[in-house]
Structure 1
Amino acid sequence: MTAARSSAKSTTTTESARPEDEKLSIGSAFTYGLQHVLTMYGGIIAPPLIIGSAAGVDPQMIGVLIAACLFVGGLATLLQTLGLKFGKNVPPLFGSQLPLVQGVSFAGVATMLAIVNGNKETGLTDIFGAVIIAGLIGLVIAPFFAQIVRFFPAVVTGVVITTIGLSLMPVAGKWITGQNPEAPGWADPVNIGIAAFTLAVIMLLSKVGNAFISRLSILIAMIVGTIFAVVIGRADFSKVLDGPVFAFPTPLAFGVPTFNIAAILSMTIVVLVILTETTADILAVAEITGSKVDRKRIAAGLRADMVSTAVAPIFNSFTQSAFAQNVGLVAVTKIKSRYAVAAGGGVLIVLGLFPVLGRIVAAMPTAVLGGAGIVLFGTVTASGIRTLAKVKYDGNMNLIIVATSISVGVLPEVVPGIYSHFPSWFQVIFNSGISSAAVMAILLNLIFNVWTKGNSENPSVFGAAPVRSVKTDVIRVLKEGDRVQNGKLVDAEGKHVPVLDDDQVDSSH
Structure 2
Amino acid sequence: MPVPQSLVYGLQHVLSMYAGVVAVPLIVAGAAKLSTGDTIYLVSASLFMAGIATLLQTIGVWRIGARQPIVQGTSFVSVSTMLAIIGTQQGGHRSLQVIYGAFLVAGVFGFLIAPLFTMLLRFFPEVVTGTVITMIGLSLIPVGVDWSAGGVGAKDYGAPKNFALAGITLVIIVLIYRFAPAFLSRIAILLGLVLGTLVAIPFGVNNFGAIKDAQIFQVPTPFHFGLPSFDVSATISMCIVMLVVMTEATADILALGEVCEKPADRETVTAGVRADTLSTAVAAVFNGFSLSAFAQNVGLVAITGIRSRFVVAFGGGILVVLGLFPVLGAVVAAVPVAVLGGAGLALFGTVTASGIRTLREVDFSGNANIVVVAVSLAFGLAPIVRPEIYQRFPEWFQTIFDSGITSAAIMAVLLNYLFNIVGRSATEGPVFAHAPAPGAISDEDEARLERPRHGPSV
Range of TM-score over shorter length: 0.7 to 0.9
| Equivalent residue, structure 2, for 1:155 | 127
For the 8 Å contact 1:394–1:465, the answer to whether it is kept is no
**2: CA distance between counterparts of 1:151 and 1:202?**
37
**1: CA distance between counterparts of 2:297 and 2:189?**
8
| Within-5 A mapping of 1:194-205 | 194-205=165-176
Question: CA deviation digits over 1:367-411, x for unaligned, max 9?
Answer: 233222333322232232233233222344221111111222222
1:387 alignment partner, one of 358, 364, 376: 358
Whether 2:176 is the aligned partner of 1:176: answer: no
Matched to 1:27, the amino acid is V
For the 8 Å contact 1:34–1:344, the answer to whether it is kept is no
Question: CA deviation digits over 1:283-303, x for unaligned, max 9?
Answer: 554687665666544433432
**1: CA distance between counterparts of 2:117 and 2:131?**
19
Matched to 1:247, the amino acid is Q
Aligned-partner SS, 1:248: coil
For the 8 Å contact 2:131–2:408, the answer to whether it is kept is yes
**1: CA distance between counterparts of 2:225 and 2:353?**
43
| Within-5 A mapping of 1:461-476 | 461-462=431-432, 466=436, 467-468=441-442, 470=445, 474=449
Identity of aligned residues (%): 39
For the 8 Å contact 2:10–2:314, the answer to whether it is kept is yes
Aligned-partner SS, 1:147: coil
Whether 2:434 is the aligned partner of 1:434: answer: no
Deviation at 1:242, TM superposition (A): 0.9
| Equivalent residue, structure 2, for 1:228 | 199
| Equivalent residue, structure 1, for 2:429 | 459
For the 8 Å contact 2:73–2:292, the answer to whether it is kept is yes
Question: CA deviation digits over 1:124-151, x for unaligned, max 9?
Answer: 7777666545533332223323333211
Aligned-partner SS, 1:240: helix
Whether 2:219 is the aligned partner of 1:248: answer: yes
Question: CA deviation digits over 1:67-126, x for unaligned, max 9?
Answer: 44443343234324x15142xxxxx52357434413694334544675688xx9998777
Whether 2:53 is the aligned partner of 1:76: answer: yes
For the 8 Å contact 2:84–2:403, the answer to whether it is kept is no
**TM-score, normalising length: structure 1:** 0.72
| Equivalent residue, structure 2, for 1:47 | 28
1:321 alignment partner, one of 257, 280, 291: 291
Judged with a 3 Å threshold, the aligned counterparts in structure 2 of structure 1 residues 252 and 173 are, in CA distance, closer, same or farther, namely closer
**2: CA distance between counterparts of 1:210 and 1:62?**
33
Relative contact order higher in (CA < 8 Å, ≥ 6 apart): 2
| Within-5 A mapping of 1:324-363 | 327=295, 345-363=316-334
Aligned-partner SS, 2:445: coil
Judged with a 3 Å threshold, the aligned counterparts in structure 2 of structure 1 residues 470 and 148 are, in CA distance, closer, same or farther, namely same
| Within-5 A mapping of 1:106-505 | 106=79, 107-108=81-82, 110-111=84-85, 131-180=103-152, 183-253=154-224, 257=227, 263=230, 265-283=232-250, 285=252, 295-315=266-286, 317=287, 319-322=289-292, 327=295, 345-452=316-423, 457-462=427-432, 466=436, 467-468=441-442, 470=445, 474=449, 477-478=452-453
Aligned-partner SS, 2:168: helix
Judged with a 3 Å threshold, the aligned counterparts in structure 2 of structure 1 residues 62 and 234 are, in CA distance, closer, same or farther, namely closer
Question: CA deviation digits over 1:353-375, x for unaligned, max 9?
Answer: 21111101110123233222333
Judged with a 3 Å threshold, the aligned counterparts in structure 2 of structure 1 residues 419 and 42 are, in CA distance, closer, same or farther, namely same
Question: CA deviation digits over 1:237-262, x for unaligned, max 9?
Answer: 1331113221222345566x47x6xx
**2: CA distance between counterparts of 1:331 and 1:169?**
23
Aligned-partner SS, 1:101: strand
| Equivalent residue, structure 2, for 1:492 | none
**1: CA distance between counterparts of 2:450 and 2:75?**
57
Deviation at 1:177, TM superposition (A): 1.6
Matched to 2:145, the amino acid is G
For the 8 Å contact 1:30–1:340, the answer to whether it is kept is no
Deviation at 1:447, TM superposition (A): 0.8
Deviation at 1:457, TM superposition (A): 4.4
For the 8 Å contact 2:126–2:358, the answer to whether it is kept is yes
| Within-5 A mapping of 1:76-115 | 76-80=53-57, 82-86=58-62, 92-95=63-66, 97=68, 98-102=70-74, 105-106=78-79, 107-108=81-82, 110-111=84-85
**1: CA distance between counterparts of 2:44 and 2:66?**
23
**1: CA distance between counterparts of 2:60 and 2:422?**
38
For the 8 Å contact 1:409–1:437, the answer to whether it is kept is yes
Judged with a 3 Å threshold, the aligned counterparts in structure 2 of structure 1 residues 165 and 250 are, in CA distance, closer, same or farther, namely closer
**TM-score, normalising length: structure 2:** 0.79
Judged with a 3 Å threshold, the aligned counterparts in structure 2 of structure 1 residues 277 and 248 are, in CA distance, closer, same or farther, namely same
**2: CA distance between counterparts of 1:388 and 1:126?**
34
Aligned-partner SS, 2:291: strand
Matched to 1:275, the amino acid is M
Matched to 1:34, the amino acid is L
Aligned-partner SS, 1:421: coil
Deviation at 1:265, TM superposition (A): 3.2
For the 8 Å contact 2:72–2:291, the answer to whether it is kept is no
Matched to 2:148, the amino acid is I
Gaps of 5+ in 2: none
Gaps of 5+ in 1: 1-11, 13-22, 87-91, 481-509
Farther-moved stretch of structure 1 (145-154 vs 96-105)? 96-105
Deviation at 1:200, TM superposition (A): 1.8
Matched to 1:277, the amino acid is V
Judged with a 3 Å threshold, the aligned counterparts in structure 2 of structure 1 residues 155 and 240 are, in CA distance, closer, same or farther, namely same
